[in-house]
A and B are shown apart, each in its own frame.
Chain A
Amino acid sequence: MRHGKYRFLIGALAPPLLLYGVFVVSPYAQAFYLALTDWNGLSAEAGFVGLANFADLWSDKLFLSALRNNGFMLLVVPTATIVLALFFSACLTLGGGMRRSGRGVRGSGLYRIVYFFPQLLSVAILGVLFQFVYTPGNGLLNGVLGAIGLGGLERAWLADPASALPAVTAVMIWSAVGFYVVLFTAAMDSVPADVVEAATLDGAGRFTVFRRITLPLVWDSVQVAYVYLGILALDGFALVQIMTVGPGGPDNATEVIGLTLYRSAFTYGEFGYASAMGVTLFFITLTLTALALRATKRERVELA
């Protein structure tokens, strides 16, 4: 009954495709169109302005500093998060005494759960919590610095252009590491024990085992992590909006594309211009994803 099969297939596929079309594809398509207009978000008419919005972007100081700041986060967040997550998951799976090799440091079961905690907090809560950590005067960070005799380093972390962006970036890394520890630990657990054992018998140290065996075998996960973290670093809107001075300050030091876009649309009523930013961000993200996947491409290792 070919006919019935198609009817079933169409029946099963139509609702999700329709939903996807209405709520994902259609807004995207409209954003591309709006980016070419001067729509103010409130009137029923939008005048066509061609590529003028895109041309204006490159002389917009705010947008350029947002690009620069997102660029900084793009350099720091994925690399730092992946290095930390690899280190922690290696400790959880490879660490500990040689005789207990493969089980990780003492209490690794508990650590696996604890590392995941930050992932359970919503971004809004993170932002508010860390705002208290960075508060000048009696904030947690300044308090700790004072207690360990580094009082000279105390400052208004979020109010100083030099430290504001690193402070926000640190929160991003802190909140992301846990998830990737869980991801990498799971990947490392699936590395066959006999391969590791054989290498150990051949006299390989733990670092060599990690570098020559574990890392190549979990490379797929690292690649995926890199793309996800890259997208995270290009966002940062919620944290900046909640935590920073201004927001986006001081002196635009923490301005991110998402914030510039939000402000253009909802404060200035320049929805066309904001859409142009969104479209630009879309292409930047797409390019980076393609680049990251290509640059980190390696030979796949097939395990029996």
Chain B
Amino acid sequence: MNLPSSRRTLLRLSTVAGAATVLSGCVTAGGDKPEQTKGTVTEDNPLGVPEGADLEVVMFNGGYGEEYTQHAVTLYEERHPGATVTHEGLQKVGEVLQPRFVAGDPPDVVDNSGAGRLDIAALAAADQLTDLAELLDAPSVDDPGVKVRDLLLPGVVEDGTLDGTVRFLNYSYVVWGLWYSQSLFDQHGWTAPETWDDMLALCEEIKGAGIAPWTWQGKYPEYMMDPLQSLAAKAGGLDLVYAVDNLEPGAWQQDGMLAAADAIHGLVTGGHILQGSEGLSHTEAQNAWCNGQAAFIPCGSWIEGEQQGVTPDGFDMTLAAVPALTSADALPYGAVQGASSESFLVPAQAANPRGGLDYLRCLFSGEVARGFAESAKAMPVVRGATEGLDLSSGLASVASTLESAGEHVFGYKYRTWYPELAVEVDTATGELLGGRADAQQWADRIQAAADALAADDSVVKYER
């Protein structure tokens, strides 16, 4: 054999070997499910956590901080002295955990939240999540006579249910509505309007005082979609909401939806919105509102925490429910859009899934929930957690709004179920608020996208 040919053979062989390693190291080559070990079930260990099994908690360290998840770690360690618990707070949960899910080596508990979160519906479809039913039926930490399920505010279990199975539980309860400064309103003798006609009359009055009636977070049209879809839900009731979520034909062109879009569009044509709002980021718009340039801003209840450093003393931010759209609304004025967020889940391929469940049992205890309300200035989903606490003005108004809403708390699901549709909704809403489309064009555009989605077999469909 002469040298050149053997060199060529060597090169050819090495190319083949290289290609083989490339292909075998493929991203989709995953592991098999590990065997689940179960420890002895006792009164102190109702979920049967194996003794001495370590626990890994990965959580989104965002606006709510990580004090409450650390708190639950302390509680867990007291209950399982033999276990080593690692706790990690991240900003981009998805980027870090995606490869671990694919490799079959996920942590035991994940708080899958924030802008970089993983698509929960896709995780569930890929069979990556543990069924949480066992946790819900387990006795709570505070009172063994009460199940964890009975501690949660209405809608929390439903929020975490995908295709009939509970896949995740949210920790923070968010309420959407219109925010205003109580002190500013007292000073001018204004009150939050209960009907849309009153709202328009008040807008004229506010303009007379040299203040813009509304501003909004224009760069992210979803902020304005919340009052719009709240108006629609009040007018059309839960039937309207379900029709939208179930992608029914003509759902976006229902009377209530059109009337709501028209009402919001009227704010633009009536000149009731701070000029240039459509180009403001959420920070810029919220700061303009805090500086008294505008009277109302639509937002979820996280705004108080978010604006902490900017809000002037004595501003007294207050939440009001979105006004009633017509006199014949299906839902009462007090009805609000509410949903839970901060999604905690237990990966199906976790090394210690029972420990993960028991960690969540600690997290949903009264003690941790009270700490959350105090440190994160937000509503936990645990019943009665804010009772007896000295609440800030914003959080107090959230609590009282929730109380007067009673059972009339509604929420849309299309945003979680069909993110593609949500993008089109936001684009169309941007056009509506930019004055470049009217209510009918807005509705037609979204309906076309919803119809296309309904006809697309490759997208997993949900129903409620």
B276–A136 contact, CB under 8 A? yes
Interface status of B374 (Cβ within 8 A of chain A): no
The 4 A-B residue pairs with the shortest CB-CB distance in the complex, in nearest-first order:
A44-B30, A136-B276, A156-B279, A43-B126
B128–A42 contact, CB under 8 A? yes
Interface status of B255 (Cβ within 8 A of chain A): no
Q: Which of A46, A249, A251 contacts B28 (CB 8 A)?
A: A46
Interface status of B281 (Cβ within 8 A of chain A): yes
In the bound complex, residues from chain B placing their C-beta under 8 Å from that of A104 are none
Proximity bits, A235-253, B CB within 8 Å = 1, else 0: 0000000001111011110
Known contacts A135-B284, A136-B280, A156-B276, A26 near B22 by CB under 8 Å: yes
A245–B28 contact, CB under 8 A? no
Chain B 98-124 residues near chain A, CB threshold 8 A: 98, 101-102, 104, 116, 118-119, 121-123
Chain A 112-141 residues near chain B, CB threshold 8 A: 131, 134-137
- Min CB distance A90 to B, Å, is 37
Q: Count how many pairs of residues, one from A and one from B, have CB atoms less than 8 Å apart in the complex.
A: 127
In the bound complex, residues from chain A placing their C-beta under 8 Å from that of B31 are 44
Interface status of A187 (Cβ within 8 A of chain B): no
Q: Closest A residue to B124 by CB, please name it.
A: A42
In the bound complex, residues from chain B placing their C-beta under 8 Å from that of A157 are 279
Interface status of B221 (Cβ within 8 A of chain A): yes
In the bound complex, residues from chain A placing their C-beta under 8 Å from that of B195 are none
Q: Closest A residue to B119 by CB, please name it.
A: A269
In the bound complex, residues from chain B placing their C-beta under 8 Å from that of A160 are 434
Q: Which of B19, B279, B284 contacts A245 (CB 8 A)?
A: B279
A43–B128 contact, CB under 8 A? yes
Residues of chain A having any CB pair with chain B under 8 Å: 21, 25-26, 29-30, 33-34, 37-46, 62, 131, 134-137, 156-161, 244-247, 249-252, 263, 266-269
Interface status of B431 (Cβ within 8 A of chain A): yes
Interface status of B77 (Cβ within 8 A of chain A): no
In the bound complex, residues from chain B placing their C-beta under 8 Å from that of A46 are 28
In the bound complex, residues from chain B placing their C-beta under 8 Å from that of A134 are 279
Q: From DSSP, what is the main secondary structure of chain A's interface residues?
A: loop
In the bound complex, residues from chain A placing their C-beta under 8 Å from that of B276 are 135-137, 156, 159
In the bound complex, residues from chain B placing their C-beta under 8 Å from that of A266 are 94, 116
In the bound complex, residues from chain B placing their C-beta under 8 Å from that of A25 are 18, 22
B125–A40 contact, CB under 8 A? yes
Known contacts A25-B22, A41-B98, A43-B126, A34 near B280 by CB under 8 Å: no
In the bound complex, residues from chain A placing their C-beta under 8 Å from that of B121 are 269
B122–A42 contact, CB under 8 A? yes
Known contacts A41-B119, A137-B275, A157-B279; can you find 11 more A-B pairs with CB under 8 A? A25-B18, A30-B22, A39-B27, A135-B276, A244-B219, A245-B221, A250-B278, A251-B430, A251-B431, A263-B423, A267-B423
Show 9 A/B contacts (Cβ-Cβ < 8 Å), sorted by A: A21-B18, A43-B28, A46-B28, A135-B284, A136-B279, A158-B219, A244-B219, A250-B278, A269-B122
Interface status of B163 (Cβ within 8 A of chain A): no
A161–B436 contact, CB under 8 A? yes
Known contacts A21-B22, A42-B101, A268-B420, A245 near B219 by CB under 8 Å: yes
